[in-house]
Chains A and B, each alone.
Chain A
Amino acid sequence: MSDTASNGQTPLVEMIDMHKRFGGVHAVEGVTIDLYPGEVLGILGHNGAGKTVLTKILSGAHRADEGEIKINGKKVDLHNPRDAQNLGIETIYQTLALADNLDAPANLFLGREIMTGFGTMDDDAMENESRKVIQRLNPNFKNIKDPMRTMSGGQRQSVAIARAVYFNAKILIMDEPTAALGPQETAMVSELIEQLKKEGIGIILISHDLHDVFDLSDRVSVMKNGKLVGTRYTRDVTKDDVLGMIILGKLPGETTPEDGKALH
């Protein structure tokens, strides 16, 4: 019943029949999604729909209770974020997950420090690499050696994105990537997504706001109350159709005229 980009390609990611419970709450219930190379998949839904939990399973932050994850057709077991990173899965969290007391290079390389031959951290090499990658994303960002807490929202976002991009992500998960950004920075993120797409990276965009992701996404998967409502190509549906999926939890064909009135 769901659309898949089944042109004979192996999906980059398959999450099949995922379940995750927190105590009595069924946060994710039988959700199946897939993602192809060079594709942008938008995952939409209200707050509490289970979008973030679903993707945190893929980034290794949560362990699924049931379900199967395949990367390039091969079943994988993700025990922690490190496992996901090793498979080329990078995540930009909604909170950005930055240590405010550390500088940009320390955050960028956190957990994956460049070491010298003596087994000590090579701060100069990390600073140098950071400058290069951050410069490309945000040319005005010079003071990368200051602690993160002194930086603007756009700069913080740059560091979080740089962290994901630097390590050659094959799969990039972005949770509400533009929620805290101004128009200029949003444009920067859009541009980056286009560029990464061309490089064959699969991108998952999570948002509660349809308008943030509709134009960027090739497909959208809509979630409601922990369940998948459906997945559609954005070229086949209108924003209103997707809105109906988000709010009513019904697919475009299933809506009644009364439902339509309720939306407007």
Chain B
Amino acid sequence: MTNQSGSERAGAVGQKSESFFNAFFRVTELDLRTTAMLTALIAIWVALYFLTDGLFLSPRNLTNLAVQGAVVGIMATGMVLVIVARHIDLSVGSLVGFTGMFVAWLHVDFFPSILPGILPLDSDLGWILAVIMTLLMGVVIGLWHGFWVAYRGVPAFVVTLGGLLGFRAMAWVVSDGRTISPLNDHFELIGGGANGSIGEFWSWIVGIVAVAIIILITARTRKRRRKYGIATKPLVVEIIMIAVYSAVIFGFVMIMNSYMRPRSDIPRGIPVPVLILIATVIIMTFISQRTKFGRYVYAMGGNPEATELAGINVKRTTTGIFVIMGVLASVAGIVTAARLQSAGNLMGFMQELFVIAAAVIGGTALAGGVGTIFGAILGAAVVFSIINGMVLMQTTSAQQQIALGLVLIFAVWFDVAYTKRKR
């Protein structure tokens, strides 16, 4: 047996003397790669704090940053599964354009014109129905991609390149090239505008529930491991880790609550898109780690042939991945239209590149088999921190993209070097 990383289970190997570094990762069971990412993100934040004279870490800017990054973050969680399974989805940016246009067209043009008495623009039922139909459209698009990739053997790169071209054009077809506006007022809350936040009270509730869930999960894990005689973390470490997580969560809620609604002293609280992102991350983490489907996605990425020989329906799993990606892209489309308070043809333009960059910077290996949902969120945070920070530093968008390109290369280089060392 060659070297073992520090991330292995506590007590699995009794080493006589080990460095503090190794001991830290062994006891906390933290993943070295994720920890490195987190450290890099904090370093970027500190640097931007000083470069922008403190502006970067103001509640107002952090709230904006979270809302800006939410759409890409939502899609990046799905892109992780796509890339882990050795595929790619280039169509997500165009899908944002198409689904954003679709949801707007449905509740602004279509419903009011066919059912003017029942579903006018200002009816809540209208936009809710439009949202549901748009999510279903995401499922249909995912089935379409999955059909060609899994059942007809066309490489995902080609199928979704077709999607990149086609769906942007379909957005155009839906609206005859017009920008659709105005949208329903309540629908726009999804986008997290001036009123699109859940307020101080509910933000605290979200934070408290989150901490409660962490404590519950920790307790349950300990109990289960005990039952099977698997080594658990020392209680002190568990308590410290819960304290750290709680501090981060409550800190986040406090920041979101210290940004006020316009011309008032009323805290905004967590913006709706950020809430959607949090929900997405939880659901996608659950899918990737706790369900058979998630396990099969990773197995396919590691060894497609072996997965098939194990009796797993690889085609259906592949289709499932694209369906999830389609739904997440339509969620992103809905949020985007709501945030812009109009649906235009450039929604989501080139966004596929940010989504893929977020997943890859977050440690998803393009060769497949490796990647985490949380990593992708960190990746998205890195991408949007750099963009946002550079905007505050009054750089041009060309300079921002150059910086992003360099970060992308650097992140993948880090990953390659890290993986080599680990082998």
Contacts and interface: CB of A to CB of B under 8 A. Distances in A.
Interface of A: 59-61, 80-82, 84-85, 91, 93, 95-102, 106, 110-113, 115, 119-121, 124-125, 127-128, 142-143, 145-146, 149-152
Given A102-B302, A127-B228, A111 B310 contact: yes
A142 B13 contact: yes
Contact of B298 (A101, A119, A120, A145): A101
Contact of A81 (B2, B228, B309): B309
B212 interface: no
B310 A106 contact: no
Interface string B289-319: 0111001101101110111111110000000
A155 to B, nearest CB: 8
Nearest to B306: A97
B178 interface: no
A115 B293 CA distance: 12
Contacts of B286: 120
B4 A102 contact: no
24 contacts: A81-B308, A81-B309, A81-B310, A95-B305, A97-B305, A97-B309, A100-B302, A100-B303, A101-B298, A101-B302, A110-B299, A110-B310, A119-B291, A124-B227, A124-B228, A124-B230, A125-B228, A127-B230, A128-B228, A142-B12, A143-B8, A145-B9, A150-B422, A152-B1
Contacts of B370: 101
Contact of B312 (A91, A111, A125, A146): A111
Interface of B: 1-2, 4, 8-9, 12-13, 224-225, 227-230, 286, 290-292, 295-296, 298-299, 301-303, 305-312, 369-370, 422-423
B4 A146 contact: yes
Given A99-B303, A142-B13, A121 B292 contact: yes
A6 to B, nearest CB: 33
Nearest to B84: A101
B11 to A, nearest CB: 10
A172 to B, nearest CB: 15
A119 B293 CA distance: 11
Contacts of B301: 99, 101
Contacts of B303: 97-100
A255 B305 CA distance: 41
B228 A145 contact: no
Given A80-B311, A125-B228, A152-B1, A100 B369 contact: yes
Nearest to A141: B1
Contacts of B296: 111
Nearest to B229: A128
B311 A145 contact: no
Contacts of B290: 120-121
A110 B295 contact: yes
Given A60-B311, A106-B295, A124-B230, A99 B306 contact: yes
B298 A102 contact: yes
B311 A99 contact: no
A99 B290 CA distance: 18
Contacts of B310: 81, 97, 110-112
Nearest to A61: B309
B4 A99 contact: no
Contacts of B306: 93, 95-99, 110
A2 to B, nearest CB: 29
B12 A145 contact: yes
A143 B3 CA distance: 11
Max chain B Cβ within 10 angstroms of own Cβ: one of A85, A91, A115, A146: A146
Contact of A121 (B13, B224, B295, B305): B295
A145 B229 CA distance: 15
Contact of A99 (B227, B291, B369): B369
